[in-house]
Amino acid sequence: MHQPTRLVVLVSGSGTNLQALLDACAEPSYGARVVAVGADREDIEGLARAERAGIPTFVRQVSDFETREGWDASLTTVVERFEPDLVVSAGFMKLLSTEFLDRFLTLNTHPALCPAFPGMHGPRDALEHGVKVTGATLFVVDAGVDTGPIVAQVPVEVAEDDDVASLHERIKTAERAMLVDAVGRIAREGIAVEGRRVRIGAEGR
């Protein structure tokens, strides 16, 4: 078996997606390990989860830099230090620079079925639109907002009595399972991205 795929995970909040990855990585046959966790703010549960798991963390806060470009460059440098095979943006609330994305294959999870409802309020926007089915999408990050090539999607039915919180919670449960499944398959079988088409396995990696 080859070396486990090295993951750097970026978080901004509660980090339940991160926790799902940490739990999966505890099993050697999963094929990946989280080598570092980065955040754009201090004092979040996502960082605490990493610390409890004994994983190195770093924080790059935009307000600590004179320019956004300075922040972008610093984030790229610190991530590079951990030599990731894959970066997973799991609830990371910042856009990443093209330099960063050219350097690292980066996946992001979004709590809606792309290309529907991009941006910060996927569950709210889906609810307001009155859709009967929404879900979560794992995609390769590109320069747009939630526009990149799609790796995996999972549907979630909207219930009559859902509010934004209850819908988002159900989406997150499905989202975590999707993330763990796709990242594990990528780690074990590789990934090939050709234009908008993403294939896991065969000639990937």
Residues with active-site annotation: 110
Give the closest residue to 85 by CA, choosing from 188, 13, 16.
188
Could you identify the residue written with the tokens 């999408």? 137
Beta-bridge partner residues of 137: 110, 153
The tokens of 82 are what?
């951990």
Least Å distance, CB 15 to ligand GRF, is 5
| Residue among 31, 38, 84, 111 that touches ligand GRF (CB under 6 A) | 111
| Minimum CB distance to ligand GRF smaller for 107 or for 187 | 107
| Minimum CB distance to ligand GRF smaller for 35 or for 90 | 90
| Minimum CB distance to ligand GRF smaller for 61 or for 77 | 61
- 90 binds ligand GRF, rule: CB under 6 A: yes
Mutual orientation of helices 45-52 and 16-25 as an angle, nearest 10°? 20
| Residue among 8, 175, 180, 191 that touches ligand GRF (CB under 6 A) | 175
- 110 binds ligand GRF, rule: CB under 6 A: yes
- 38 binds ligand GRF, rule: CB under 6 A: no
Provide CB contacts within 8 A for 167, sequence distance 6+. Answer: 123, 126, 127, 134, 156, 158, 159
| Residue among 4, 13, 190, 204 that touches ligand GRF (CB under 6 A) | 13
